Structure 1
Amino acid sequence: MNSWLVLTASLPTSPSGLRVRIWRSLKATGCATLRDGVYILPAQAPTAPWLWRIEQAIREGGAEAHMLEVKARDAAQEAQFLALFDRAEQYADLAQAIKEARKALARAAEPDTRKTLRTLAQQLQSIQALDFFGGKAAAAAADSLEALRLEVERRFSPGEPATAQVRGIERLRREDFQGCSWATRQRPWVDRLASAWLIQRFIDQAPRFLWLKDPAKAPKRALGFDFDGARFTHVDGKVSFEVLAMSFGLAEDAGLRRLGELVHYIDVGGSPVDEAVGIETLVRGLQAQHPDDDDALLAAACSLFDTLYTGLAALASRPS
């Protein structure tokens, strides 16, 4: 049987500040309410340390609180406790929202569709963060969202690479990749633009870029990136930018690491990044300014990524 944390708290009704603050903190832990003033949380929950801090905060606020660690008395009570943390209804609501997004896909514009996809991904992560026992509903929701993401990519980014499964990413020497031809799909989106910027700024001092209508016709000597079968593409859940950074020993650069998180989120979703919406808007603006010239688009995007990298590196260097 599981171990359970049970917090009993007697909060004053006035002043209301402490009560409201504690209530919000309790909600953030994902704990359940057994009765008024009695809260329960699995002892192994990632948020369990928060509950201990809440107990301390209540006492420091002059109120009474006690924490108990218990086990259910029998299987029936264990089932009752587990039922308090059943997230099936939340997953069902999310599944319905995904279903509605799929129905709207045929008539929706790309920016709206990608915004919806990010919102759904955030909702899934929020549920998963407080789903301490998982189960079939969690797996089904994740599979459904991934299926939607693939449909979105097929419609708006034909040729978007599938994730390859490999044993590690080969470490390469930048000296061996100078003056190369680098090939990717035409009309580049964020991952391809950021990857080309990374190549130009950190890997190859004199690169030549080829923008392909059909990646299958890439010249044999060209180094492909961000399409199926390319030398550098999506691997083990990482987007092409992240794979390039790891391949050439750049992943420890804090600015590039944070930029990789941003590119990853815009390209395939995942953990939300504050700057994502603004950067996506700027890139769409650059695409509109250079609708027929991918070299000009990259040149304009390089200034954007230069500034972004400098800003993210500065943020990463700040003391926590």
Structure 2
Amino acid sequence: MSIEPDDHGWLVISVSTAGAPDSLRVQVWRKLRSLGALYLQQSVCLLPARPPVVREIRRLADRVRHQGGTARVLPMAFTAPGEEDAVIAELNAARDTEYAEVLERLPSLRQELADEQARGNATYAEVEESEADLQRFRTWLDKIAARDYFDAPTGRTARDAVEQAATELAAFEEAALHAEAPDQAAPRLRAVKQ
């Protein structure tokens, strides 16, 4: 039986890696976790049947079977709207927890920018380091957003906070440019203002 993508349907995924290489269990767990699976019990989880999810689950099931494990992927629909709402709320709560961790850690980047600027240490090296930190936040946020199927409420706040940090980094970069190459900063500032 073929599983077709359905923006309103769900997949029940049951995986056993008994008899397969030990590394497969970790691979399965990581893939299901990256997709945002909601575990109903050990080795049985639930995901919305969105096209990218269906594609990834098909690949995962094939890998499990080829390496000696068993995988079942079953389409399902809720018979009670309240049950589906409860599952969506649980998935959103899990994503909100992830977004909250981004929000919890982001102030350290913003504080570092403020501290370095206060010390007069607005340098290219600090800009590079902060850009790398900001990119890690963006990548982290993208990974969470990829499994945020129902627009968890904290997602917008987290995205806005990362963009605010990007704005602060741009200002820090201007300060570094002005400190290290004052002759180049003035034309750039004029170009930005126009």
TM bracket, shorter-chain basis: 0.7 to 0.9
- Matched residue of 1:102: which SS? helix
TM-score of the two chains, using structure 2 as the length reference = 0.75
When residues 6 and 156 of structure 1 are mapped into structure 2, their CA distance, relative to the original with a 3 A threshold, is: same
State the 1:51 CA deviation.
0.6
Residue type of the partner of 1:113?
S
Residue type of the partner of 2:137?
L
Hey, what does 2:157 align to over in structure 1? 140
Q: Distance in 2 between matches of 1:21 and 1:215?
A: 48
Corresponding position: 1:128 with 2:136: no
Asked if the contact 1:12–1:63 (Cα under 8 Å) also holds between the matched residues in 2, the reply is yes
- Among the aligned pairs, what percent are the same residue? 24
When residues 228 and 38 of structure 1 are mapped into structure 2, their CA distance, relative to the original with a 3 A threshold, is: same
When residues 141 and 216 of structure 1 are mapped into structure 2, their CA distance, relative to the original with a 3 A threshold, is: closer
Corresponding position: 1:53 with 2:71: no
Question: Relative contact order (C-alpha < 8 Å, sep 6+): which is higher?
Answer: 2
Residue type of the partner of 1:227?
V
Hey, what does 1:5 align to over in structure 2? 11
Corresponding position: 1:21 with 2:14: no
When residues 106 and 80 of structure 1 are mapped into structure 2, their CA distance, relative to the original with a 3 A threshold, is: same
Deviations 1:126-170 (A, max 9, x none): 211221122431111111111111112112226x9xxxxxxxxxx
Q: Distance in 1 between matches of 2:8 and 2:39?
A: 17
> Which of the residues 172, 186, 194 maps onto 1:213?
186
Q: Distance in 1 between matches of 2:133 and 2:189?
A: 31
Give 5+ residue unaligned stretches, structure 1.
161-185, 189-209, 218-225, 230-320
Hey, what does 1:115 align to over in structure 2? 132
Q: Distance in 1 between matches of 2:137 and 2:74?
A: 36
Hey, what does 2:36 align to over in structure 1? 30
Q: Distance in 2 between matches of 1:121 and 1:148?
A: 11
Q: Distance in 2 between matches of 1:88 and 1:45?
A: 23
When residues 136 and 23 of structure 1 are mapped into structure 2, their CA distance, relative to the original with a 3 A threshold, is: closer
Hey, what does 2:98 align to over in structure 1? 90
Deviations 1:162-219 (A, max 9, x none): xxxxxxxxxxxxxxxxxxxxxxxx959xxxxxxxxxxxxxxxxxxxxx95724577xx
State the 1:35 CA deviation.
0.8
Q: Distance in 1 between matches of 2:189 and 2:16?
A: 68
State the 1:16 CA deviation.
1.8
- Matched residue of 1:227: which SS? helix
Residue type of the partner of 2:186?
K
The structure whose residues are more often helix, as a share, is 2
State the 1:76 CA deviation.
2.2
RMSD (CA atoms): 2.9
Deviations 1:10-61 (A, max 9, x none): 3205642333333333333332211112121110162321112222222333
When residues 187 and 227 of structure 1 are mapped into structure 2, their CA distance, relative to the original with a 3 A threshold, is: farther
Please say which structure displays the higher CA radius of gyration: 1
